[in-house]
């Protein structure tokens, strides 16, 4: 019996009494079908997009932990408002983790699958906070020789989202971008892509130290929201770049509306006669994250040619089709140590990821503390 026959897997369950439960289940690793492989997950990041599924809106400041250090069980109450939005998953024990990387241990009978044995691959598809993952060979992205699993753990969510922003800009006829919460790993990738591809980019951050970080990467326009001069500076930057498409990671509050208002002000600088319906150039904000879960407030002082909406990577990839998506993935693999390099503040095991003091750090989305899980750390390989 192979060592990977049984593996630990992080599970998140919402109990109907309004309690979140996190635990490490022992699950059998599915035997690979002919076109599948078994990957030992050596590195998997905790992305903001993972936290929604994992923590289910629970109040982690009121969390408890029981069990042993190797077998912790974390419980936390879910406020009633949050509970409504997770009603569809009650009493389902759900695996977590969008993406990861690791070594292909075994394969099914197909040539495509067998060719991957011994290779380090990046994979996406959920259930990555686990020691082992059986997955289709076609879903594996082979990392360039000499690339460690930790270097390739974030090959999909952030890189493809950043590339998706640029592709969306081109497809929808815009010629420049605005990005909020722009000092994130994703934001740093976007700065590098836009520099490489000659795309004007306006970065909006929330702290002065983030300005220095992005300027150090070569970013030209980096603004700090909330300062007294922010709106004036934003209008100047939008006039200089002609950016009419923004990607917003924050969601709640007034920032999306302010971006549209400033786009309108920038557009009206070059408009001819007075038009009571505002500028004719379409101004768009896509909300792709929810760092602020509060309501979005739109003042609608930006004419009639505007839109705001949700933006989801999977929807984007479906829209462009498998061939175009594969091209993006290949660019990521080729530039994984440069454009798409990720920084992590800490590496933890699965059991360590369930320590309350760690959750308090990585669960607070706006701090910029980025964690990497090594699900096989400390499990005696």
In the complex, which residues of this chain contact a second copy (CB under 8 A)? 52-53, 84-85, 88-89, 92, 94, 251-252, 257, 268, 271, 274-277, 280, 284, 287, 290, 293, 295-301, 303-312, 314-315
Q: How far is the CB of 39 from a second copy (least distance, A)?
A: 23
Nearer to a second copy, 60 or 113 (CB): 60
Q: What are phi and psi of 353, to 5 degrees?
A: -65, -20
Nearer to a second copy, 208 or 318 (CB): 318
Nearer to a second copy, 259 or 336 (CB): 259
* DSSP for residue 1: -
Cα–Cα dist 255/226, whole Å: 9
Three-state SS at 74 = strand
Q: How far is the CB of 295 from a second copy (least distance, A)?
A: 5
Cα–Cα dist 254/256, whole Å: 6
* DSSP for residue 20: E
Cα–Cα dist 262/36, whole Å: 50
Q: How far is the CB of 97 from a second copy (least distance, A)?
A: 13
What secondary structure does DSSP assign to 234-262, as a single string?
HHHHHHHH---EEEES-EEESHHHHHHHH
Three-state SS at 82 = helix
Cβ neighbours, 10 Å, residue 1: 5
Q: How far is the CB of 106 from a second copy (least distance, A)?
A: 28
Nearer to a second copy, 53 or 361 (CB): 53
Q: How far is the CB of 222 from a second copy (least distance, A)?
A: 27
**Rg, Å, the chain Cα set:** 22
* DSSP for residue 155: S
Q: How far is the CB of 309 from a second copy (least distance, A)?
A: 3
Contacts of 341 (CB under 8 A, 6+ apart): 151
Cβ neighbours, 10 Å, residue 145: 7
Nearer to a second copy, 28 or 307 (CB): 307
Three-state SS at 198 = coil
Q: How far is the CB of 275 from a second copy (least distance, A)?
A: 8
Nearer to a second copy, 91 or 357 (CB): 91
Nearer to a second copy, 192 or 283 (CB): 283
Unique residue bearing structure tokens 């400390």: 378
Q: How far is the CB of 296 from a second copy (least distance, A)?
A: 4
Nearer to a second copy, 118 or 274 (CB): 274
Nearer to a second copy, 129 or 344 (CB): 129
Q: How far is the CB of 208 from a second copy (least distance, A)?
A: 29
Cβ neighbours, 10 Å, residue 25: 13
Contacts of 236 (CB under 8 A, 6+ apart): none
């Amino acid at each position: 019996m192979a060592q990977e026959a049984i593996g630990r897997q992080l599970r998140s369950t919402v109990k109907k009494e309004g309690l979140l439960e996190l635990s490490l289940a022992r699950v059998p690793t599915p035997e690979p079908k002919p076109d599948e492989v078994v990957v030992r997950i050596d590195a998997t990041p905790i992305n903001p997009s993972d936290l929604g599924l994992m923590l289910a809106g629970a109040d982690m400041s009121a969390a408890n932990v029981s069990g042993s250090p190797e077998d912790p069980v974390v419980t936390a109450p879910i406020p009633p408002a949050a509970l409504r939005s997770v009603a569809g998953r009650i009493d389902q024990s759900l695996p977590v983790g969008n993406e990861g990387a690791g070594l292909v241990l075994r394969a099914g009978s197909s040539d495509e699958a067998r060719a991957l044995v011994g290779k380090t691959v990046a994979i996406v598809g959920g259930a990555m906070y686990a020691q082992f993952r059986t997955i289709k060979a076609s879903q594996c992205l082979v990392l360039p020789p000499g690339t460690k699993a930790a270097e390739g753990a974030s090959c999909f969510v952030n890189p493809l989202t950043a590339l998706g922003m640029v592709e969306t800009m081109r497809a929808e006829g815009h010629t420049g971008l605005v990005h909020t919460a722009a000092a994130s790993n994703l934001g740093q990738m976007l700065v590098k892509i836009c520099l490489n591809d000659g795309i004007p980019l306006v970065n909006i951050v929330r702290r002065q130290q983030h300005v220095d970080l992005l300027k150090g990467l070569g970013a030209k326009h980096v603004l700090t929201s909330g300062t007294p001069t922010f709106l004036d500076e934003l209008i100047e930057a939008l006039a200089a770049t002609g950016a009419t498409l923004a990607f917003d990671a924050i969601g709640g509050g007034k920032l999306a509306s302010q971006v549209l208002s400033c786009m309108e002000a920038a557009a009206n600088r070059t408009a001819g006669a007075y038009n009571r319906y505002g500028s004719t150039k379409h101004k768009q904000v896509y909300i792709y994250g929810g760092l602020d879960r509060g309501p979005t407030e739109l003042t609608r002082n930006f004419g009639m040619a505007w839109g705001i909406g949700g933006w989801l990577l999977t929807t984007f990839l479906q829209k462009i089709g498998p061939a175009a998506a594969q091209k993006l993935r290949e660019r990521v693999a080729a530039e994984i140590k440069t454009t798409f390099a990720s920084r992590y503040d800490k590496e933890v095991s699965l059991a360590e990821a369930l320590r309350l003091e760690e959750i308090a750090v990585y669960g607070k989305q706006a701090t910029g503390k980025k964690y990497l899980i090594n699900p096989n750390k400390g499990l005696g390989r």
